[in-house]
Amino acid sequence: MREALILRTFLALLVAMALLAAAAPLRAADVTDVPKGVSTEAVKAFKRGLELHKAKKWASAIPEYERAIALGGRFPEAFNNLAYCYRKTGMIERSIELYKVAIALRPTFPQAHDYLARAYLAMGDRSRALREYEIVRRLDAKLAACLSAAIQRNDPDYHDMPWGGAFILSLQPVG
């Protein structure tokens, strides 16, 4: 009887600890994030890419992001940002391929889905853009509001945030 009581208490404590750990708030991913374990050289190239990206020098940012990926920085943000630069330079098909890689690496990456929807919109594929919108809607309501407005206006650049919605909090939701 005593052993059974100890066993039940032990199990209850384990479950309680696991539930508490799971309930800890998670920080939302950012397109500037670099995961642990990526080589220093890859991180340096990625950060150089980010600086050029911030300055909207899309064509110059592309080789830096590509270098980061070639040096082993195969993380979603690198593919997502590279795709963004390709999209901004008009290479939509290439950007779609790269967004798909970013999404395969992290299927619940809201910014990559948002940008992919905009890339489809730029290609004139409204139905695929709407499908991506359905995913964004479930991941990030504010990002989805902006994407919805872009789809309604058939304008892929409408409320297009190069930093994945980091500034969206300052905007009014768009109906």
Cα 151 off chain centre by: 19
Figure out which of the listed residues 19, 24, 27, 169 binds another protein, where binding follows CB under 8 A.
Answer: 19
Q: Please, which residue, 113 or 118, has the CB nearer to another protein?
A: 113
Burial of 8 (0-12, 13-18, 19+ CB in 10 A): exposed
Q: How far is the CB of 104 from another protein (least distance, A)?
A: 4
Figure out which of the listed residues 130, 139, 149, 174 binds another protein, where binding follows CB under 8 A.
Answer: 139
Cβ atoms 118, 146 nearer than 8 A: no
Cβ atoms 113, 132 nearer than 8 A: yes
Q: Mention every residue, 6+ apart, whose C-beta is less than 8 A from residue 53.
A: 61, 81, 84, 85, 162
Strands (DSSP E) contained in 80-167 are none
Residues 96-125 touching another protein, rule: CB under 8 A, are: 103-105, 107-108, 113
Largest CA distance in the chain: 72
Q: How far is the CB of 145 from another protein (least distance, A)?
A: 15
Q: What angle do CA 103, 109, 110 make, to 5 degrees?
A: 120
Q: How far is the CB of 94 from another protein (least distance, A)?
A: 19
Q: How far is the CB of 126 from another protein (least distance, A)?
A: 17
At 109, is the secondary structure helix, strand, or coil? Answer: coil
Q: Please, which residue, 52 or 102, has the CB nearer to another protein?
A: 102
Q: How far is the CB of 123 from another protein (least distance, A)?
A: 19
Residues 46-105 touching another protein, rule: CB under 8 A, are: 103-105
Decide if residue 6 touches another protein (CB under 8 A). no
* Residues binding another protein (CB under 8 A): 7, 11, 14-15, 18-19, 21-23, 103-105, 107-108, 113, 131, 134-136, 138-139
